[in-house]
């Protein structure tokens, strides 16, 4: 499991930079937070995470506008970005990772197939400005757990890459 190697790297970078991370997860259901908190010493860099499986939870917990959900759907880069921004604010963190996607085996469509996962990353840079990025990955119909695990690995790696830049 690649996430077992990525999580300690992310934690080390966060500790070196004295940063706090938060997560907001839909299709991974807390697996990213679990990968982070599974590492001894993670309490130095992780205080809380959010599982927002439903649209109502996305709105209630991390302030994703209902209009955004209606316009783009829960699985979109727009919503992933909003989730990350909302979590960053709600947790008072320095960096937030978000994930929303279609793990399968059902729920896909031609426009949003099974294995499509959107990620958001919002962080406070050295100039104290908030920057938010979003990306989409197409993992394919590789099975529900494989999509979820690939999503965890992608999110952790993106966090590492951002903090290393």
Q: What's the residue count for the chain?
A: 165
pTM to 2 decimal places:
0.97
Domains and CATH numbers, the chain: 3-164 (3.90.950.20)
Beta strands in 20-140 (DSSP E): 21-25, 46-51, 95-101, 116-124, 130-138
Mark residue 59 as left, alpha or beta (left: phi above 0; alpha: psi -120 to 50; beta: remaining): alpha
DSSP code of 32? Answer: H
pLDDT tens per residue, range 79-132:
999 999 999 999 999 999 999 999 999 999 999 999 999 999 999 998 999 999
Q: What is the pLDDT of residues 119-134, one digit of tens each?
A: 999 999 989 999 999 9
Give pLDDT, residue 4: 83
Q: Kindly state the average pLDDT of the residues 134-139.
A: 99
Q: What is the mean pLDDT of the chain?
A: 97
| Cα–Cα distance for residue pair 52/79, rounded to 1 Å | 12
pLDDT greater than 70 at residue 1: no
Does position 2 have pLDDT exceeding 90, yes or no?
no
DSSP secondary structure code for residue 94 in this structure? S
Q: Radius of gyration of the chain from Cα atoms?
A: 15
Q: At what angle do helices 144-164 and 3-17 cross, to 10 degrees?
A: 30
d(CA 86, CA 162): 19
> What tokens does 109 get?
């469509």
Element (H, E) at 152: helix 144-164
Peptide bond into 105 cis (omega under 30): yes
């Amino acid at each position: 499991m690649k996430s077992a190697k990525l999580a300690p790297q992310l934690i080390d970078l966060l500790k070196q930079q004295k940063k706090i991370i938060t997560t907001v997860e839909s299709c991974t259901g807390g697996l990213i937070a679990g990968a982070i908190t599974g590492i001894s010493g993670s309490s130095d860099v992780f205080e809380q995470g959010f599982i927002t499986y439903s649209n109502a939870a996305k709105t209630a917990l991390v302030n994703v506008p209902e209009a955004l959900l209606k316009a783009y759907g829960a699985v979109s880069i727009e919503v992933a970005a909003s989730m990350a921004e909302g979590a960053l604010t709600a947790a008072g963190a320095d960096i937030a990772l978000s994930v929303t996607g279609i793990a399968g085996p059902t729920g896909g469509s031609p426009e949003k197939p099974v294995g499509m996962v959107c990620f958001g990353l919002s962080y406070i840079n050295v100039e104290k400005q908030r920057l938010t990025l979003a990306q989409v990955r197409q993992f394919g119909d590789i099975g529900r757990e494989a999509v979820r695990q690939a999503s965890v690995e992608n999110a952790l790696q993106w966090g590492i890459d951002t903090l290393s830049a």
